[in-house]
Amino acid sequence: MIGKDSKYDVVIVGAGVSGLFMFHKLRNMGLSVLVIEKSDELGGTWNWNRYPGARCDIPSLEYSYQFDEDLQQEWNWSEKYSAGPEILEYLNHVADRFDLKKDINFEEEVVEAKFNEANSQWSIKTSKQEYQTKFCIFATGCLSVPNKPEIEGLESFEGELLHTATWPRDEVDFTGKNVAIIGTGSSSIQTIPEIAKDVNNLYVFQRTPNYSIPSNNGPMDTETEAKVKERYAEFRKENYLNGFGIASDSGEALISESDLEEVNSQLEENWKKSGLGFFGGYGDIPVDVDANEVAANFVRNKIKETVNDPETAKKLCPEYHIGGKRLCVDTGYFETFNRDNVHLIDLHATPIEKVHSNAIEADETYEIDTLILATGFDAMTGALTSLDILGRNEINLRDQWKEGAKSYLGLGVRNFPNLFTITGPGSPSVLSNMMPSIEQHVNWIADCIGWMLENDKSVIESTKIAEDEWMKLVNEIADMTIFTSTKSWYNGSNIEDKAKAFLPFIGVPVYTEKLEEITADDYQGFIFDKSN
């Protein structure tokens, strides 16, 4: 059993995409590394979110690791957008191929991390034991703490209660059941078409409608795959040149400078083949409200064309800027509302009053067997504030972030020396293809630790000035876009008592450039070996 010798160079918390690669990288540097994972399986997102229909909405050829040429050449994806189980199989393949599993402590949850000023070590307390480590890396995910809504009577429900983010491993049988689903974000939009086929009745409780673009998913086009594989390394570089980190998507034309008829025919083409790329298909959709409205209206018209009942179609049409809430990608979502057994309940008109032992009460009382919460996550900060992380002078990260999370580059936090976060607040993270963003952070952290060892530095910490200026930049950029004017989990609006602060850095290329500049300047904004 690992962990008996409780002193490590590095402890990594989490064994998802981030934790697995971080572990591989640091172990190859000859460091003693422990990975701690609360689940009994690796895979993070793809282990927890096993709901029917779960799949990535970034093409698999880019939603995959690039760190090993043989791996990326040899692995074949079966579809353009892979289903959750295939991604999980891939992550298990990676773990086997690089012999990672045996050095991960599963079923162990980190409950406290405490910095000891006297020896500059972290004490990591888990559900099982305690470890000492020099560096501590949180690979705990941006979307890993489920949001469980407070709805009166929820605890009294006696039917089957499910959350998309903690879906059971055994298949759930919906045959002939009356099922309610609360929420209409990406998870719900993927689940609904799948379960609608089996249920007796499906009641969809919608508070805010979402924009969704058809995935046009299908078997992997082997010609495309071969072309990408011929130049995989070059192709991956394109991830870092696109605003949202999607290599296959780059539209430079502007709606504001184009003929409207041409725009509509281009949007039609993007609707048919681009998925998430629909949003970046024109350069001004994310930044110009008028251009954004053209794209938004295009999607509203598609919804109205697809959904037979005009009242239902109207309720499914969002009014805010397209992209303001995370854009969804679906397989037959709007079409599902043409089924007789699928019913849309508009919570704006009549909110949920109460959950009873066998029913939900809103505009009327719906008797149900199963209730699915598709209510999202305490995003970006939840996995860092739901445990006690105690830095200098025992300051708790949760308290330091009370008025809004602040980080330098999404990698380091002042008062928390030798602690790194992968895809932390202030980095492109959730507003990017997360695979290349994760690899960028893992490589940076490994290089930084390597540089410290070479240069005889033992403690790294970001400064308050660097952090303040960085978050100012994050907000200045966000204010130039449509992202800040909509209530969304990007700005904490989905969690009642959470600070309302916009957290992702918008623009992968600018971020990449800044990161490289800062690193080349001997990690400007970080201080090393500050006296205690």
Contact set with ligand NAP (CB under 6 A):
56-57, 143, 149, 151, 164, 182-188, 190, 207-208, 326, 329, 347, 374-377, 430, 489, 494
What is the C-alpha to C-alpha distance for residues 529 and 337, in angstroms, rounded to an integer? 60
Residue 270 vs residues 79, 235, 295: alpha-carbon distances, Å:
19, 21, 11
**186 vs 312, beta carbon nearer ligand FAD:** 186
Stretch that binds ligand FAD, among 33-41, 195-203, 316-324, 453-461 (CB under 6 A): 33-41
Selection from ligand FAD, ligand NAP, none that 195 binds (CB < 5 to 8 A by kind) is none
Of the candidates 422, 399, 396, 400, the one whose C-alpha atom is nearest the C-alpha of residue 411 is: 422
Of the two residues 133 and 494, which places its CB atom closer to ligand NAP in the complex?
494
Report the residue number, 126 or 190, with the smaller CB distance to ligand NAP.
190
Which is nearer to ligand FAD, 19 or 159 (by Cβ)? 19
Piece in contact with ligand FAD (CB under 6 A), picked from 8-16, 69-77, 349-357, 516-524:
8-16
Residue 391 CB partners (closer than 8 Å, separation 6+) = 115, 397, 400, 413, 415, 416, 417, 419
Interface residue with ligand FAD, options 8, 49, 378, 444 (CB under 6 A): 49
Identity of the residue, 239 or 312, whose beta carbon is nearer to ligand FAD in the bound complex: 239
Give whichever of 211 and 401 is closer to ligand NAP, judged by the CB atom. Answer: 211
- Quick one: which H or E segment has residue 138? strand 130-138
Which of ligand FAD, ligand NAP, none sits in contact with 37, Cβ below 5 to 8 A by type? ligand FAD
**What's at 517, amino acid-wise?**
E
Q: Which of 39, 123, 208, 306 binds ligand FAD (CB under 6 A)?
A: 39
Q: Which stretch binds ligand FAD (CB under 6 A): 3-11, 134-142, 406-414, 520-528?
A: 134-142
- Give the shortest CB-290-to-ligand FAD separation in angstroms: 29
Name the closest residue to ligand NAP (Cβ): 185
3 state SS of 492: coil
Q: How far is the CB of 181 from ligand NAP (least distance, A)?
A: 9
Please enumerate in sequence order all residues whose Cβ is within 8 A of that of 489, keeping only pairs 6 or more positions apart, or say none: 325, 326, 376, 377, 379, 380, 495
Amino acid at 522: D
Binding mask 374-413 for ligand FAD (x = CB under 6 A): ---------x---x--------------------------
Backbone dihedral region for residue 456 (phi beyond 0: left; psi -120 to 50: alpha; all else: beta):
left
Q: Is residue 10 a contact point for ligand FAD (CB under 6 A)?
A: no
SS3 assignment for 330-395 = ECCHHHHCCCCCEEEEECCCCCCCEECCCEEECCCEEECCEEEECCCECCCCHHHHCCEEECHHHC
Selection from ligand FAD, ligand NAP, none that 182 binds (CB < 5 to 8 A by kind) is ligand NAP
Task: In angstroms, give the least distance from the CB of 205 to ligand NAP.
Answer: 6
Closest CB to ligand NAP among residues 25, 325: 325
Instruction: Select the span of 55-63, 150-158, 173-181, 353-361 touching ligand FAD (CB under 6 A).
Output: 55-63
In whole angstroms, give the CA distance from residue 513 to residue 527: 21
In the DSSP assignment, the letter for residue 171 is P
Q: Does 199 bind ligand FAD (CB under 6 A)?
A: no
| Burial status of residue 338 (CB atoms within 10 A of its CB: 0-12, 13-18, 19 or more) | middle
What separation in angstroms does the CA of 267 have from each of 70, 218, 432? 37, 21, 21
Least distance (Å) from ligand FAD to the CB of residue 128? 11
Residue 178, helix vs strand vs coil: strand
Site for ligand FAD in 406-445 (CB under 6 A): 422-423, 433-434, 438
- The nearest distance, CB 74 to ligand FAD, in angstroms, is 21
- CB-hemisphere CA count at 13 Å for 71? 15
Nearer to ligand FAD by Cβ, of 242 and 423: the residue is: 423
CA dist., res. 450 & res. 406, Å (int): 25
Q: Is 144 in the site for ligand FAD (CB under 6 A)?
A: yes
Decide: 165 and 305 in contact? Cβ < 8 Å. Answer: no
Which parts of 444-525 are beta strand (E)?
Answer: 460-462
Question: Does residue number 359 form part of the binding site for ligand FAD (CB under 6 A)?
Answer: no
- Asked whether position 36 contacts ligand FAD by CB under 6 A, the answer is yes
User: What is the H or E stretch that residue 162 is in?
Assistant: strand 160-163
131 is in the binding site of which of ligand FAD, ligand NAP, none (Cβ under 5 to 8 A by kind)? none
DSSP 20-74: HHHHHHHHHTT--EEEE-SSSSS-THHHH---TT-B-SS-TTTSS--S-HHHHHH
Tokens of 293: 């409205």
Residue 185 beta carbon to ligand FAD: minimum distance, rounded to whole angstroms? 10
323 counts as binding ligand FAD under rule CB under 6 A: no
Q: Is residue 38 within the footprint of ligand FAD (CB under 6 A)?
A: yes
* Whole-angstrom distance, CA of residue 230 vs CA of residue 225: 9
Give dist(CA 455, CA 467) in Å, integer.
Answer: 24
CB 186, min distance to ligand NAP, A:
3
Residue 161 Cβ vs ligand FAD, minimum distance, rounded to whole Å: 19
Instruction: Return residues touching ligand FAD (CB under 6 A).
Output: 13-19, 36-39, 44-45, 49, 54, 56-58, 63, 109-110, 139-144, 187, 383, 387, 422-423, 433-434, 438
